Structure 1
Amino acid sequence: MNNFLFVASENDAIPNCKVGGVGDVIRDVPRQISERGDRVHVIVPSYSRLHYSGTLKATLKITLRDIVYSAELYEVPPKEEHENITHYVIHHPEIGTGSIGGVYDHDDEPFFTDVTKYTIFCTAVAEAIKQGHFGKLDIIHLHDWHSSMLLFLRKYHPAYTKLKKIRTVYCIHNLALQGIRPFGDNYSSLKTWFPKLDLDYDALRDPRYPDCFNLMAMGIRFADSVHTVSPSYKQDVLLPSDAPEFIGGEGLENDLRQADKEGRFHGILNGSDYQNVPVRKNKLFPNIATTIFQQLQREPNRKKADFLAHTGEKVVPFLKKRPNFICASVARLTEQKFYFFKRSPEALLQILDQLEEVGGIYVLLGTGAPDYEELLRNLSYERENFIFVNTQSESVVNSIYRDSDLYFMPSLFEPCGISQMLAMRNGQPCLVHHTGGLKDTVQHVHTGFAFDGKTYDEKVYNMVESFKEALYLFQHEKTTWKQIQLNARKMRFTWKKSVDEYYKLLYTFNPAEVRVA
């Protein structure tokens, strides 16, 4: 039996610890591993709240800033019990509740708060490994920059040399977020955290900012195996970015090429859960109305409350009669997800015009960057057939995947994407930008629709034209539309297949291949 430790920032296997797709992966992959008879421990920060339901397992003394910190290790109950899986959180007062989904923080000084809390978290995890709280580990699977400080400690910290004997795997979920901070002269800097360590600045340095270290780069440089969450995203990130036409390696393409040359870099498509959450059909608008009403009862901000009321009023007519066509999106409101809308709002207006001609509407659920929220709120006031649900609701999300006619995913880039998989499992065609993992999952006029272009203007033009094509097929070629729905429903992106690749490419342990730090 192999013994695994998963280290991440999110874990949807426990309550209230999910913001994005990372949480889904950390929920689903350990289940696949446990079904093979192996043991899995999963650990995330407590964010000053997740430990309340847990059982204290240990108090961990760690040294940071030449001060002894006391962090606490809790075992916490999962949503569902699975044999051979144990869930933990690390609690420390400086690992606070984030402003984004209760997990992440957004600072004027990039990554200031998050690097602080994930440094404490990773150091506490290293101490827990050293003390044997997870038993004798065979593999540590790390996820995104939030966990890569563990690799820094493994390589440079004399207290944690024991970690060098354990195989490490590093997963890149989103290369655009890298955890870049200065080496020194800052509360959240490497020299402040570890003032007595001799640092190899060249090995830690960000390729674009020579006075900074890069936690994403540490993961790529120091892990035994590195992987992206789709094959096409792997190919994308080996090339330099040329935004907005192409998003690639974001300054780390040389590190990724080196890892690829060494045989350490792989692209493995994420999977999806095909045990459908029971969702009743035709509940989208009742669920939106219920969510709006509940949110209004606890919303102290007058401007936000007024907009929620406005959204509720727009939903009322559809409680009795469904619109002829429902297009929908669910995503965090960021540049990655909706850059095309922000830069080219006229394209979105053209799409809404097309929908209006067929009696259709566009429902978009999400929260995120203030400028994107403001753009979409203003559009909602202007256009009757655009419903912007500016909150979070699992029931509305599930109904969007169940009840919509077309799922719209115009991501500027997409490492893998899970939304398109969730829509397709319900037989819902998707309209996507032909990038990253969306290339690997959606085929134009077979399982959905895709747009691309050599220039930004071409991409935007083709996005509108692809939307027009989808509407035309829906209206005038019912047989073709139904076949696309059927093809989408038949697609299976299973975690079993993904984890088979993990065992073959990432988890294979050959002592002769161990990279000595």
Structure 2
Amino acid sequence: MKIAVCASEAFPFCKTGGLADVVGALSTFLSRNEMVESLVLFLPKYRDIGKTAFSPKKISGSFVVPVADRFENANLYLVEWGRVKVYLIDNPRYFDRPGLYRSESGEFSDNDERFIFFQRAVLEGCKFIDFKPDIIFCHDWQAGLIPAYLRTLYNIDAFFAKTKTAFTIHNIAYQGMFAKDTFIKAGFSWFDFTPDKLEYYGGINFMKAGINYANIITTVSPTYAIEITQNPQISRGLEGVLNYRKKDLYGILNGIDTEVWDPATDTFIYRGYDVKTFWRGKPFCKKKFQQEMGLKQDKNTILAGCVSRLDWQKGIDIIADVIPDFMGRMQFVVLGSGDKGLSERLKKISDENRESFVFVNDFNEELAHKIYASSDIFLMPSRFEPCGLSQMISSRYGSVAVVNSVGGLKDTINYYPDDLMKSNGFVFDGATASNLKSMLGHIISVYGSKEIWNNLIRNAMKTDFSWSNSVLQYTKLFSDLLK
């Protein structure tokens, strides 16, 4: 089968968060599957892409894309990336600016136009390069209009006569909601401006469009697929359309690239180790990390790590609530940026407890790797979590995950209170400070038993978080769709 992947970001080309990691890795591993004849990945050509290690080659010629009452010019640049052909859609008006979606002052005011252009350019670009996709694989709201376009404006276009669409919801909290004039800019007919089609409270919702019109809808974990149909606080107003399309909704866990995230070969960490040698490697990493970060060097004190966006969703405020209660009994390190008030609060706690808590207001790839390798436990008290990657990465590095029982966290971390020898982490029910505090107290007592603790580490490191199973599920879904 021929697959065209459409997304607003993909690592290693452009990244603001986990979406990029998933799109990049999934595209790579899908392209290696024997059922996939060819795979192309469409991305916007943001300003900084040209500054990466890749050298995009401009494709001769250009094409036009209708946006609102005018036509915009589009150029394509190609990067040969393994078995994936990456096509970068270039239009300086929309993409030659700092940042992907926002500046320091907030979201770009023309994000609706930018991604209308991008999505129309994907369809016109397929024709320009003569790539007839069997599947167009669309990711999040920035690609949500493509299924709608194929079922409306492109409905009689013979080029896409056999093309099917799959739409993946990575985080339903970000939906791409815009006013009525955006509907006009998108070029749809007023016939489609109804609640059962594209209209959403007097405007247009790009994610709703994807859910409504895609042949199949996927999301990034089985539990999240249930949550978004049953919990209005999580589905954010889309529970109706999701329940209507429930028979076409599938939850497939994301994976991690186990070649990138491998403590045995990781050049960022202090010493490599695997499941057989962690008992030497992790204590060494912990000691060196404590030394580098100015923490009190003590091998018997639990070091709790966290690498996260500073956001209400992630429950970092809950970590801030409990840290003071464990000073002297545990050490903490938090790496991340985001909410200004939360970062100021964490900095204040850190300044007052320099030997027990380190806060780094940044995202630093090398430091993230060191935290995964050096910490004993990894905290993820998320209020909701579609899938989560950090709990998989931390487990791979033997940093035992401590998570709230939601979404992909629930699907990946197995906790058996009565049989810790079968567990690969710790799970508490409800993102509150009291629940996290209770769990940390329990962990301190468990940490004293090296037999149980080392077995937890082994279980965590042995858990298969690779993309292998996920890719098989996707290719089966796509194959069934094309029958």
Alpha-carbon distance change, 391 to 197 in structure 1, aligned in 2, over 3 angstroms: same
Is 1:256 paired with 2:227?
Answer: no
Q: Name the stretch that deviates more: 391-400 or 155-164.
A: 155-164
What's the TM-score once normalised by structure 1's chain length?
0.80
Deviation, 1:280, is 5.4
Q: Are residues 1:503 and 2:472 paired?
A: no
Alpha-carbon distance in 1 for matches of 2:444, 2:306: 16
Partner of 1:460: 433
Range 61-70 or range 222-231, more displaced: 61-70
Distance change in 2, residues 1:134/1:394 (3 Å): farther
Any idea what SS the aligned residue of 1:364 has?
strand
Post-superposition Cα deviations, 1:121-165, rounded to whole Å, max 9, x if no partner, equal: 11111111233x152211111100111122232233259834353
Q: Are 1:41 and 2:57 matched, yes or no?
A: no
Matches of 1:77 and 1:321 in 2, distance apart? 48
User: 2:461 aligns to what?
Assistant: 489
> Match of 1:55?
57
Shift of residue 505, structure 1, vs aligned partner = 2.4
Matches of 2:149 and 2:143, distance apart in 1: 11
1:41-100 per-position Cα deviation (integer Å, ceiling 9, x unaligned)? 01111123325731112412112122121111110254xxx2x3111211112333676x
User: 1:429 matched to which residue of 2?
Assistant: 400
Counterpart residue identity of residue 350, structure 1: V
In the TM superposition, what are the counterparts of 1:253-402 in structure 2 within 5 Å?
Answer: 253-260=239-246, 263-275=247-259, 276-277=261-262, 278-279=265-266, 283=270, 317-318=294-295, 324-338=301-315, 341=317, 348-354=320-326, 356-358=327-329, 360-384=330-354, 385-402=356-373
Distance 1:96 1:378 in 2: 38
Distance 1:142 1:160, change over 3 A: farther
User: Does 2:369 correspond to 1:414?
Assistant: no
- Match of residue 195 from structure 2: 202
Distance 1:183 1:507, change over 3 A: farther
Runs of 4+ that moved beyond 6 A: 106-111, 319-323
DSSP 3-state at the match of 2:363: coil
> Tell me, what secondary structure is at the counterpart of 1:381?
helix
Alignment-derived partner of residue 71 in structure 2: 68
Relative to the length of structure 2, the TM-score reads 0.85
Question: What amino acid does structure 2 have at the position aligned with 1:229?
Answer: V
Partner SS state of residue 440, structure 1: helix
Q: How far apart in 2 are the matches of 1:98 and 1:127? A: 23
Task: Report the RMSD for the aligned CA atoms in angstroms.
Answer: 2.8
Q: Percent identity?
A: 28
Partner residue, 1:151 = 147
What SS does the corresponding residue of 1:68 show, helix, strand or coil? strand
Q: Take 1:214 and 1:281, find their aligned partners in 2: how far apart are those partners? A: 42
- SS of 1:41's partner is strand
Q: How many Å separate the matches in 2 of 1:482 and 1:206?
A: 55
- Cα distance in 2 for residues equivalent to 1:145 and 1:365: 28
CA contact (8 A) 1:414 1:437 kept: yes
Aligned partner letter, 2:364:
S
CA–CA distance in structure 1, aligned partners of residues 153 and 50 of structure 2: 28
Residues 1:192 and 2:185 are matched in the alignment: yes
Aligned counterpart in structure 2 of residue 172 of structure 1, from 169, 174, 189: 169
SS of the residue 2:438 aligns to? helix
User: Which amino acid letter does the alignment assign opposite residue 337 of structure 2?
Assistant: T
Of the structure 1 ranges 394-403 and 103-112, higher mean CA displacement relative to structure 2 is found in 103-112
**C-alpha offsets along residues 296-353 of structure 1, whole Å, 9 cap, x if unaligned?**
xxxxxxxxxxxxxxxx999553498778332111111122113x61xx5xx6343343
Other-structure match for 1:301 = none
Match of 2:25 among 3, 6, 28: 28
Q: Is the 8 A contact 1:48 1:95 kept in 2?
A: no
2:274 aligns with none
**Distance of 1:399 and 1:158 partners within structure 2:** 49
Verify the 8 A CA contact 2:322 2:433 in the aligned structure 1.
no
Counterpart amino acid of 2:454? Answer: K
Aligned partner of 2:195: which letter?
D
Give how far 1:118 is off.
1.3
Residue range with higher mean Cα deviation, 460-469 or 152-161: 152-161
Query: How many angstroms apart in 2 are the aligned matches of 1:76 and 1:218?
Result: 30
CA distance in 2, matches of 1:107, 1:202: 35
Structure 1 range deviating more: 47-56 or 19-28: 47-56
Deviates more, 1:378-387 or 1:396-405: 378-387
Shift of residue 241, structure 1, vs aligned partner: 2.6
**Shift of the alpha carbon at 1:490?**
1.2
- CA separation of 1:197 and 1:47: change in aligned 2, threshold 3 A: farther
Question: Aligned equivalents of 2:253 and 2:188: distance in 1?
Answer: 40
Over 3 Å counting, the alpha-carbon distance change for 1:251 and 1:54 in structure 2 is same
Q: Secondary structure at the match of 1:202?
A: coil
Check if 1:211 corresponds to 2:206. no
2:439 corresponds to which letter in structure 1? S
Q: State how far apart, in whole Å, the 1-side matches of 2:97 and 2:441 are.
A: 40
Give the CA deviation at 1:199: 3.8
AA matched with 2:58: L
Q: CA deviation at 1:357?
A: 2.6
Go from structure 1 to structure 2 and tell me whether the alpha carbon gap of 1:68 and 1:280 turns closer, same or farther (over 3 Å shift): closer
Distance 1:253 1:324, change over 3 A: same
Residue 93 (structure 2) aligns with: 94
Q: Which runs of 5+ in 1 are unaligned?
A: 243-247, 285-311, 512-517
* 1:232 matched to 2:191: no
* Contact 2:134–2:482 (8 Å) recurs in 1: no
1:484–1:375 Cα change, 3 Å: same
**Hey, what does 2:113 align to over in structure 1?**
116
**Which residue of structure 1 aligns with residue 179 of structure 2?**
182
- Aligned in 2, Cα 1:219/1:193: closer, same or farther, shift over 3 Å? closer
The amino acid of 2:57's aligned partner reads: T
| Residues in 1 aligned to 2:381 and 2:132: alpha-carbon distance in whole angstroms | 45
